[in-house]
Chains A and B, each alone.
Chain A
Amino acid sequence: MKENAGPLIVLGILLLFPWVITDQYYQHLMILVLMWVAIGSGWNLIAGYTGQVSFGDAAFFGTGAYAAGLLAFKLGISAWWGLALGGLMAVVIAFPFGWICFRLRGAYFALATLALNEVMRHIATIWESLTGGMVGILLMQTFVSKIPYYYVALVIAVIAVVTVQLVMQSRWGYYFVSIREDQDTAESIGIDTHYYKMISLCLAAYLTGLAGSLYMNYMSFIDPHIVFSLHDISIMAILVGIVGGVGTVYGPAVGAFVMVTVSELFRTGGFGLVDSVTKAIPYPAVMLAAKYIKEAHVFTFGVLVILVILFLPNGIVGDWPKLRRGLLFWRRQKA
């Protein structure tokens, strides 16, 4: 019980959050954070624990979103049923893909996931009679308030973290890690690596698809370039994983919080700070800098990828002892 105290306290804070912070904007950000916790946990399961790096999480995310969207758009069934269907549809995509592509190893599997991402986006764009093509799908939001969405997102995030926790404590978890460490050795001591990689991929796809259908319900608008986006979904999922900590249960949660904050910080120009600076100092150079800062969020993602891989290879959670030592040292020096 003691080792779970920290996460339980965090969960308690999260349960109270929408009643304390009533500003819709911050509630919106927290919903995004919780959604990314689910996606990041999925990515972490397949890439961080099983060692099969995926560049194509958007394929599963988009499938989940389209599953929910089309259910409402074509059949007139509430998109909330998509929460049940979205994850399953993502598994339906992931299963044959994994069956075929797990004969590839390492970077070549990563390439195959990248190709899957592109293929799915092209299908969603070209198959206009089903998906509406570039027009996308627009639904009516069920609730005006953000609070119901918040709790659904919270439940999904908790499901994701608990799933990863339980799986990694079970026998499967040891199999996954052994595949990551050395696939040939794992095979030689009798682990059916193909089978366990499939399980890991399907679980990851399920969690990602679940997050996708939540996105459809919450945002109520999708188009192929949003939900199958390489930069905004697949790379973001990787960043959430590596910033938080690869191969740690709570890493994706930390990573999601950091990444959504960073992304929003640039999109809004330091939460409006840049705007007030430009108003205070209306020089052209400052205005130009402000314009660049607002456009810089993809650039920052790229720089973050490089810096994190070089200097924080195990993420915030994984490298916490190193980080803390650094911070302590810095504080001691200051004093």
Chain B
Amino acid sequence: MDVFLQTLVSGVLTGGLYALIGLGMTLIMGVMNIINLAHGQLMMVAMYITFVLFHYLGLDPYFALPVSCTFLFFLGVFIQRYLLNPLMQVESILPENQVLMTVGIGMVLTEICRFIFTSNYKSVPNPYSSPTFFIGGISFSKAMCTAFVLAVMFTVALFWFLLKTDLGRSIRAVAQDGEAARLMGIDAERIKVITMGIGSMLVAAAGTMLMPIFYLFPDIGGPFTRKAFVITILGGLGSTVGAIFGGVTLGLAEAFGATYIGKDYEDMIGLIMFLLVLLFLPGGFKRLTKV
């Protein structure tokens, strides 16, 4: 029973961070109608920023959060403004050229980081990456708990932003119907640019908070991109509530898979879930909850 509860706890804690990764992806998917296959690579860039700030300036990872978020916001804005938006005008018989473009961007980001930091493993050793506390025999990692609480705060802030502010309403309007939003006087191009920025910012937050727990190397982006799209497919495309469900589900599935089947299969489980959801529940959790 203890093993079960322990797995449950670590699954939910990881799931909180996965939800943050998935939220950025699902926002981008909803508004731009593209799958951002550079999502994990953006996260990797944020992790390197955290690493640099820690290593050279001695800045605590949690204080690096605003810096990495701001930087990634502008990186996202740059990508959308100068690489993805111009693609709208390009006449091509190749379908999905925007998705291909994000793959190219991801490769470039990875290789730039490899040039600068080499392929060696990096980490941010600090006093709170290993200690744990116990509640009724279940151990909680302090770093994971902090990350989880921060992730929840980010999610709440995002929902407030989307539901209550003018800009948030415009984003939702473009996601629902781009043409109609344009007719209502919303500058859809600008909204897309901002959404890409916000999506990158969310994944930057997740990356920075994962930094005390994870090792860092340039190729870490790929697996996280795959996790991000599994989460969004699980949750339902473009559904923000679904992304939270998807994130926690993936976190739980990976934790239980690692405990009861084997660590080797951790990555496989996500992908198999992905194929199963496509088969039996196309549309993801969104179909069940109608949110």
The answer to whether B282 touches A310 (Cβ under 8 A) is: no
B279 in contact with A48 (CB, 8 Å)? no
Q: Is the CB of B271 within 8 A of A306?
A: no
Q: Which residues of B contact A111 (CB under 8 A)?
A: 35, 229, 233
Instruction: Tell me which of A51, A110, A247 contacts B99 (CB under 8 A).
Output: A110
Q: B271 contacts which of A119, A295, A310 (Cβ < 8 Å)?
A: A119
A107 touches B99 (CB 8 A): yes
Interface: B92 (CB within 8 A): yes
User: Is B90 within 8 A of A305, CB to CB?
Assistant: no
Q: Name the residue on B nearest A52 (C-beta).
A: B95
Residues of A within 8 A of B268 (CB): 119, 122, 126
Q: Roughly how many angstroms separate A160 CA and B112 CA in the complex, as a whole number?
A: 36
B2 within 8 A of A: no
Name the B residues within 8 Å of A313 (CB-CB): 90-94, 97
Task: Determine whether the beta carbon of B275 is less than 8 Å from that of A112.
Answer: yes
Complex formed: what's the CA distance from A114 to B106 in Å? 15
Asked whether any CB of chain B lies closer than 8 Å to the CB of A106, the reply is yes
Chain A interface extent, by class: 35 or more
**CA distance in complex: A296, B103 (Å):** 17
B71 CB → nearest A CB, Å: 20
Query: B107 touching A298 by the CB < 8 A rule?
Result: yes
Task: Please name all residues of chain A whose beta carbon is closer than 8 Å to the beta carbon of B107 when the two chains form the complex.
Answer: 231, 235, 298-299, 301-302, 305
Cα–Cα distance between A53 and B101 once the two chains are bound (Å): 13
Interface residue ranges of B91-125 to A (CB < 8 Å): 91-97, 99-101, 103-108, 110-112, 114-115
Q: Which of A284-310 contact B (CB under 8 A)?
A: 292, 295-296, 298-299, 301-306, 309-310
- A residues 135-193 near B (Cβ < 8 Å) are 180
B271 touches A115 (CB 8 A): yes
Given A107-B99, A112-B275, A310 and B86 contact (CB-CB distance below 8 Å): yes
Of chain B, the residue at the smallest CB distance from A238 is B100
Chain A residues with Cβ below 8 Å from B90 are 309-310, 313
Assess whether B111 is in contact with A242, with CB atoms less than 8 Å apart: no
Contact (Cβ within 8 A) A310 B278: no
Return chain A residues, CB-CB under 8 Å to B226: 114-115, 118
Contact of A122 (CB < 8 Å), options: B110, B111, B267 = B267
Bound form: Cα–Cα A183–B168 in Å: 34
**Assembled-state Cα–Cα distance A106/B100 (Å):** 12
Of listed A55, A100, A115, residue having the most chain B CB within 10 A: A115
Which chain B residues lie closer than 8 Å to A55 at the CB level? Answer: 103
Say whether, besides A51-B95, A295-B114, A302-B108, A112 and B100 are in contact (CB < 8 Å). no
Residue B161 is within 8 A (CB to CB) of chain A in the complex: no
CA–CA, A186 and B90, complex, Å: 25
CB <8 Å contact, B92 and A230? no
- B180 CB → nearest A CB, Å: 21
Contact, CB under 8 Å: A242 / B229: no
Contact with B along A88-127 (1 / 0, CB 8 A): 0000000000001101101110111011001100100110
A295 to chain B, nearest CB (A): 7
Which chain A residues lie closer than 8 Å to B99 at the CB level? 53, 107, 110
How many B residues are at the interface, by size bracket? 35 or more
> Does any Cβ of A come within 8 Å of B264's Cβ?
yes
| Minimum distance in angstroms from B73 CB to a CB of chain A | 21
CA distance A103 to B233 in the complex (A): 14
Shortest C-beta distance, A190 to chain B (Å), equals 23
Given contacts A107-B34, A118-B271, A299-B112, contact A314 B104 (CB under 8 A): no
Question: With A242-B94, A309-B100 in contact, do A298 and B272 touch (Cβ < 8 Å)?
Answer: no
Query: Which of A118, A235, A238, A299 is within 8 Å of B108, CB to CB?
Result: A299
Chain B residue at minimal CB-CB distance from A51: B95
Chain A binding surface, main DSSP class: helix
Alpha-carbon gap, A231 to B87, bound state (A): 23
Which A residues are CB-close (under 8 A) to B94?
Answer: 47-48, 53, 242, 246-247, 309, 313-314
Contacts of B96 in A (CB 8 A): 53, 106-107, 110
Question: When chains A and B are docked, how far (Å) is the Cα of A303 from the Cα of B105?
Answer: 8
Contact B264 A126 (CB under 8 A): yes
How far is it, in angstroms, between the C-alpha of A304 and the C-alpha of B112 when the chains are bound? Answer: 15
Give complex CA distance A169, B114 in Å: 46
On chain B, the residues within 8 Å of A298 by CB distance are: 107, 110-111
- Residue from the set A125, A231, A296 with the largest chain B CB neighbour count within 10 Å: A231
Q: Determine the chain A residues whose CB is within 8 A of the CB of B34 once the complex forms.
A: 107
- Say yes or no: A103 contacts B108, CB within 8 Å: no
Q: CB-CB < 8 A to B97: which residues of A?
A: 309, 313
Q: Is B260 an interface residue (CB 8 A)?
A: no
Q: How far is the CA of A299 from the CA of B108 in the complex (A)?
A: 5
**Contact A180:B271 (CB < 8 A) given known A111-B229, A112-B278, A310-B83:** no
Contact, CB under 8 Å: B93 / A306: no
Q: Within 8 Å CB of B178, what residues of A?
A: none
Contacts of A42-56 to chain B: CB distance below 8 A: 47-48, 51, 53, 55
Tell me if B265 is interfacial: C-beta within 8 Å of chain A. Answer: yes
Query: Which residue on chain A has the smallest CB distance to residue B267?
Result: A122
Known contacts A235-B103, A306-B108; 12 additional CB pairs below 8 A are A47-B94, A53-B95, A112-B275, A114-B37, A115-B226, A238-B103, A299-B112, A301-B104, A302-B104, A304-B104, A306-B83, A306-B104
Question: Can you give 17 A-B contacts (C-beta < 8 A)?
Answer: A47-B95, A48-B94, A55-B103, A106-B95, A108-B35, A111-B233, A115-B271, A118-B226, A119-B271, A247-B93, A298-B107, A299-B111, A301-B104, A302-B108, A305-B107, A309-B101, A310-B83
Which 3 pairs from chain A and chain B are nearest by CB?
Answer: A305-B104, A302-B107, A313-B92
